[in-house]
């Protein structure tokens, strides 16, 4: 298999998006990965390697405001967009580049956490481009999202778009650690302490969003759960939700199930979910994350991702 790095210009504003691919010798399908909030694309290399060993070409990019897609260090957590839509169009830009290279094999999209918001917004517009969708660690429909947006916009007017607010950060993810015993920060992401340690000690992980970043995040939450603007061109799209049973981001098991029911109500006929016992937010990075990998692989094969 071959690993390559390159850049793709965003069609939204020309931002240079840093892209990584892992391509096996014989390709039976493509999986495009969309990472989560305040992390970088290389964290998915292990999962990409697993998929590549089973014949799937994989591609991932650093979101705007993340990883190597930032022009300057102070752009971490700054999206440079007011609509919440540029991050979605970036995914489509990457899709177009990869689909042009592999036009004749099934194409799946995987989104984790904030990335799961992005991919669900993506299918509102582009569901006919995909053969399968995996929604991992999906944030639930938070009824306070409008109040959160109001607060962010008020703070923006006072402090500017690039201000990093401890208050907003605390309201966003600050309470998650309290649900788990221990002293190390960000223990909510994983029961695997080695994974948490690596996250806490990487300069491209765990940074605080700017107000502009949070505005985009909350806009994504709102857009994900709207009933308006769905093109619905591929209602037979196979969709798999996966999450850890102890993941605070899904809000509750019932909220997680409601996220699936929401898509069914929109008309999608093949939506299912798998919960993993004893796992927190980053199920791929738990010590038994191989169970998640195998479940996703089975889903991809059932969805038409080829045979080994």
The arithmetic mean of pLDDT across residues 271-283, rounded, is 98
Q: Is residue 69 part of a domain?
A: yes
307 is a domain residue: no
Q: Kind of pairing, strands 132-136 and 107-112?
A: parallel
- Measured between alpha carbons, how far is 64 from 171 in angstroms, rounded to an integer? 22
* Total tally of structural domains belonging to the chain: 1
For 45-103, how does the pLDDT look when each residue is reduced to its tens digit (9 = 90+)?
999 999 999 999 999 999 999 999 999 999 999 999 999 999 999 999 999 999 999 99
User: Three-class SS of residue 136?
Assistant: strand
| Percent of the chain whose predicted confidence (pLDDT) is above 90 | 97
Q: How many CB atoms lie within 10 A of CB 178?
A: 10
pLDDT of residue 306: 40
Query: Is 120 within the bounds of a domain?
Result: yes
Give residue 183's pLDDT.
87
Report pLDDT for 124: 98
Q: Which domain holds residue 18?
A: 2-302
Find tokens 């292990």 and name the residue: 46
* Domain assignment present for 24: yes
**Does residue 175 contact residue 188 with C-beta atoms inside 8 Å?**
no
The verdict on residue 186 lying in a domain is yes
**Averaged pLDDT score across all residues of the chain:** 96
Q: Please give the sequence-ordered ranges of beta strands (E in DSSP) within the chain, or none if there are none.
A: 2-9, 16-23, 29-34, 56-61, 107-112, 132-136, 239-244, 271-276
Q: Is residue 308 part of a domain?
A: no
CATH of the domain at 94: 3.40.50.1820
Q: Is the pLDDT at 304 greater than 80, yes or no?
A: no
More confident residue, 23 or 304: 23
The pLDDT assigned to 174 comes to: 86
- The phi, psi pair for 20, rounded to 5°, reads -130, 135
pLDDT band at 150 (very low <50, low <70, confident <90, very high): very high
Please state, in angstroms and rounded to a whole number, the distance separating the CA atoms of residues 97 and 118.
18
Print burial letters for 254-267: b (CB count within 10 Å at least 16), e (below 16). Answer: eebebbbebbeeee
The mean pLDDT value for 192-219 works out to 97
Q: Is the pLDDT of residue 308 over 60?
A: no
**Any domain includes 32:** yes
Mean pLDDT of 184-201: 97
Looking at the chain, the whole-number percentage of residues with pLDDT higher than 70 is 99
Under the banding of pLDDT at 50, 70 and 90, the label for residue 307 is very low
Judged against a pLDDT cut of 60, whether residue 305 lies above it is answered with no
């Amino acid at each position: 298999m071959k690993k390559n790095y390159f850049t793709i210009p965003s069609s939204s504003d020309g931002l240079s998006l840093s892209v990584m691919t892992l391509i096996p010798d014989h390709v039976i399908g493509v999986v495009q990965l969309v990472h989560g909030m305040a992390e970088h694309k290389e964290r998915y290399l292990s999962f990409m390697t697993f998929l590549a060993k089973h014949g799937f070409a994989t591609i991932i990019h650093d979101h705007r405001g993340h990883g190597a897609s930032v022009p300057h260090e102070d752009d971490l957590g700054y999206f440079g967009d007011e609509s919440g839509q540029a991050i979605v169009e970036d995914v489509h830009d990457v899709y177009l580049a990869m689909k042009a290279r592999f036009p004749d094999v099934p194409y799946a999209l995987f989104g984790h956490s904030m990335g799961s918001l992005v991919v669900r917004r993506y299918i509102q517009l582009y569901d006919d481009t995909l053969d399968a969708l995996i929604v991992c660690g999906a944030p639930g429909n938070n009824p306070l999202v409008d109040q959160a947006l109001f607060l962010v916009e008020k703070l923006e007017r006072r402090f500017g778009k690039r201000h990093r607010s401890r208050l907003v950060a605390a309201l966003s993810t600050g309470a998650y650690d309290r649900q788990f015993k221990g002293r190390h920060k960000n223990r909510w992401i994983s029961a695997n302490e080695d994974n948490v340690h690596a996250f806490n000690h990487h300069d491209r992980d765990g940074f605080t969003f700017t107000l502009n970043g949070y505005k985009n995040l909350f806009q994504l939450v709102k857009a994900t759960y709207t009933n308006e603007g769905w093109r619905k061109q591929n209602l037979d799209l196979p969709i798999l939700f996966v999450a850890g049973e102890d993941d605070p981001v899904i809000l509750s098991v019932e909220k997680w199930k409601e996220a699936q029911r929401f898509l069914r109500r929109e008309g999608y006929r093949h939506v299912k979910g798998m919960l993993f016992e004893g796992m927190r937010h980053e199920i791929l990075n738990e010590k038994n994350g191989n169970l998640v990998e195998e479940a996703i692989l089975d889903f991809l094969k059932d969805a038409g991702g080829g045979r080994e």
